Amino acid sequence: MEEKFVFDFINPVLVARNARLVKLVITYIYGLKKEWVYAGAMSKLKFLDAGCRRGISLRLMLEAGIRPSNAFGIDIDPDAISQARAMSAVGVDYRVESMAHLSFDDSFFDIIFANEVFMYMNNEEVVEASRELRRVINTSGLLFSVNGDTDLILPEGSDGRVKRNFNFQTNELQELISAEFKELCRLNFYPGGEQLKKLPQHISSMGEIEYKMDRNQLKGNYLLSVFKPN
């Protein structure tokens, strides 16, 4: 029988980027939640990777001390979830779900990570998702989210969907979700240099953009924001 590759290749540059990102998330946790760290509570924290795609970030959070039995990933794309399941540690719970309708109990999570997911939503969907995230996060929890600033010209995603960005000068994302969350801090994830004005036409995939960014050939602004629930 002819064998088929089940998974597409995961670009190591993308994994390296997510590793840097997760490291920043952990650094913020050390800074903002010393009680979690000093009490040795990392292994007790419940973690949601919202819009986890193939679970790259979730797997990296396991390295940082989150237990597989406390790790959850959701994505609306069933293919992404089946790939995530196949690549992850035993015990991680992946579900095909929309951020607008989550199947978890109220206050279930301590940490929610939404890396480049609000970027797929219009304003109404962002507000709706923020309500649901607020419902499932506990009052002392933290929400981390990475999104592009308006100076970042986005290509069509590999799934054919065009992503949007947010104006961080006017606190667009913060305003949109302000009924549910308050922004504590933000960090330019690709700092320094000139801003990206124009995307060369031949760059058609995110992987290639990551590659160029990592080699300092492109300067776009992605920001990591940390929110606490109201």
Ligand X SMILES: C[S@@+](CC[C@H](N)C(=O)[O-])C[C@H]1O[C@@H](n2cnc3c(N)ncnc32)[C@H](O)[C@@H]1O
Q: Which of residues 60-79 bind ligand X (CB under 6 A)?
A: 74-77
At 135, the amino acid letter reads: R
Q: In sequence order, what are the residues at sequence separation of 6 or more whose Cβ sits closer than 8 angstroms to the Cβ of residue 1?
A: none
Q: Are 221 and 194 in contact (CB under 8 A)?
A: no
Q: Based on CB atoms, which residue is closest to ligand X, 96 or 179?
A: 96
d(CA 108, CA 113): 14
Selected from 25, 29, 52, 84, the binder of ligand X by CB under 6 A is: 52
> Any alpha helices (H) in 48-195, and if so which ranges?
56-63, 78-87, 123-136, 172-176
CB of residue 21 vs ligand X: minimum separation in angstroms?
7
Which residue of 53, 59, 186, 212 would you call a contact of ligand X, by CB under 6 A?
A: 53
The CB-of-3 to ligand X minimum distance in angstroms stands at: 26
Rounded to a whole number of angstroms, the minimum distance from the CB of residue 120 to ligand X is 4
Taking CB under 6 A as the binding criterion, the range among 5-13, 103-111, 116-124, 190-198 that sits at the site for ligand X is: 116-124
Near ligand X by CB under 6 A: residue from 62, 66, 99, 226:
99
Q: Which residue has the CB atom at the shortest distance from ligand X?
A: 51
User: Rounded to whole angstroms, what are the CA distances from 217 to 136, 155, 195?
Assistant: 40, 16, 11
Min dist CB 175 to ligand X, Å, is 20
Beta strand 222-229 pairing with 181-188:
antiparallel
Secondary structure of residue 228 in the 3-state scheme: strand
* Nearest to ligand X of 18, 70 (CB atom): 18
132 binds ligand X (CB under 6 A): no
Backbone angles phi, psi at 5, to 5 degrees: -75, 130
Is 209 in contact with 155 (CB distance < 8 Å)? yes
Separation CA 143–CA 182 (nearest Å): 10
Is 208 a residue that touches ligand X (CB under 6 A)?
A: no
Candidates 110, 116, 132, 210: give the one binding ligand X (CB under 6 A).
Answer: 116
Near ligand X by CB under 6 A, which window of 115-123, 175-183, 192-200, 210-218?
Answer: 115-123
32 binds ligand X per the rule CB under 6 A: no
Task: Choose among 105, 167, 171: nearest CA to 138.
Answer: 105
- Supply the minimum distance, in Å, between the C-beta of residue 219 and ligand X: 20
Residues lying near ligand X in the complex (CB under 6 A): 18, 51-53, 56-57, 74-77, 80, 98-100, 115-117, 120
